[in-house]
Chains A and B, each alone.
Chain A
Amino acid sequence: MDDLYREVIIEHYKNPGYRGHLDPHDIQFEDNNPLCGDHIEITLQTTEDGTVKDARFDGHGCAISQASADLLMETIIGKPIEEVKQLNKQDILDMLGIDLGPVRLKCALLSLKVLKAGVYGLGEASDSLVE
């Protein structure tokens, strides 16, 4: 019925494959979307040669934010960290297969923002990470 709620998004929201918390982990970061209170935490395990061995997200929020987090985890497993650092807004939109207005874009990009702040080892997640 609705482009924004393509089956893939509903499916990843209802049955996420990568929801959880890795312990031990090599990288951990979490942040909120202050506009709506959505919350995402990511934990990563990495190999010595700098590849993402495993990844999980946890948190709460709308279907867009949670599905994009799940899709993002699926995408980065097995990828070199250097490649993860290059991911941007368009990659997320391609993953979701939808176009988003400015408000919902923040929902979709929250997980990428958190992920990039984590892999760059930053103290704070800023919007400029995902521009």
Chain B
Amino acid sequence: MAAAAAPAPAVSMEGVTKRFPGVVANDGVDFEAAPGEVHALLGENGAGKTTLSHILTGLYRPDEGRIALYGKPVEFSSPREAIDAGVGMVHQHFRLVSRFTVAENLVLGDRRGAGRNFHIDPGAIAAQVRELGDRYSLPVDPRARIWQLSVGEQQRVEILKALYQEARILILDEPTAVLTPDEADTLFVTVRKMAEEGRTVIFISHKLHEVKAVSDRVTVLRAGKAIATVRTADATPQSLAELMVGREIEVVTREGHAHPENVPVLEVEDLWADGDRGTVAVKGVSLTLRAGEIAAIAGVSGNGQRELAEAIAGLRPCTKGTVRVKGKVVHNGDARAAFQAGIGYVPEDRLGTGLSPTLSISMNLSLKSFRRESLGPFLRLHAMRDKAVDAIRTFGIKSSGPEQETDELSGGNLQKVVISREFSAHPSVLIAASPTRGLDVAAVEQVHSYLLGAAEEGAGVLLISEDLDEILALNDRVLVMYEGGLTEADDRTSVSEIGLRMAGETPSP
């Protein structure tokens, strides 16, 4: 039977290659998405998902390859042309002007609606935005300024922006990274609705369960290459994970157990601390961490987790409250005192806070211990070098040697340098803030096993993470941080309970 002429795919990319100095971000990628389809683009960090989408939105120009939209070949030399062709994108890091109102953000560069005139009438624009929000049940106040909105609301503005431009092809880049589980569910409903209207949604993610939940088909990218395209219904999370990583993976899991008999290694009592902008970020947090225990702190970023970690590690003065390590009070706001008391800290910002980027690996490894190891004012460079060689071997840090500057290392290897430095002091408390963010699956596995190892050796581990999978895999207890306050989940395995608490609600018993 002769197949009826299939409708032209909404997007078709053939042999798309994009090179950056030293890397091939996309290597001959073929990709196709049909109208009315939710097509997931799955891959690890650095697999080339974002680069591919930037090519489709005209931000980057491909070095090789052909792109066609609805059967018509296109070649974008600017974002403007992509917008005019009906391609819209919701960027992972929102591209909104924070001092503008919602309405002003929507009409930027507008050529169709009330904003296309030379003269701008804020009233007419606001009305248009409100109508659009009603139509897609994405309510936002058009006159609100972006900086006043929550992250979830800002994402709504980004989606509205694309719809306002009448995008027929909508790319969502890691849209759930900043959302609570509930907000993510609402987003999925919106995504399905847009697909039912005949729009094509390209959903970029590295989270398997989301891809399963929302997409019709999945294209898996690995190291810049499109490995496979499969129907979501035919795939299992396991099979997708293997395609993504290129080998079988072991998922680190842990039987959570309480350690009521162990000694408390960290006691935090009624801790208050200010954020960078002078607002109160941590509001009366108390917690006890026992030896050998992994306590995970969940929460959407920006709820005071970073400030709490820094306050405990002595990097941020507490305005009130005490921190005790093994019963002894740690001097407030004194990072060296905290370190000497036995607190190890793996910060969220590993290259800025965790390491000194222009120093060598060996210098960085000795940053906290050189006082003990030096000969008077002189550093013992040979000893430091030997120690670095040891660490490189033990932790498998890929580098050209102990003299390599740390800003030349990849994310995973940077994290290993930080971890090996913090571990070498045998801390009794280890604070790890988003320790696997941006790492590939293999490095995540390793970091997880280091954290488990630290707990087994008797350290109390405080794991701060936005990644619920990670939290569920590693915790003995789950604490949730919301607007500076900390609550403890009753059920350490219940996603719904943790989700509710992340949104600031207390589950009814």
A in complex with B: no
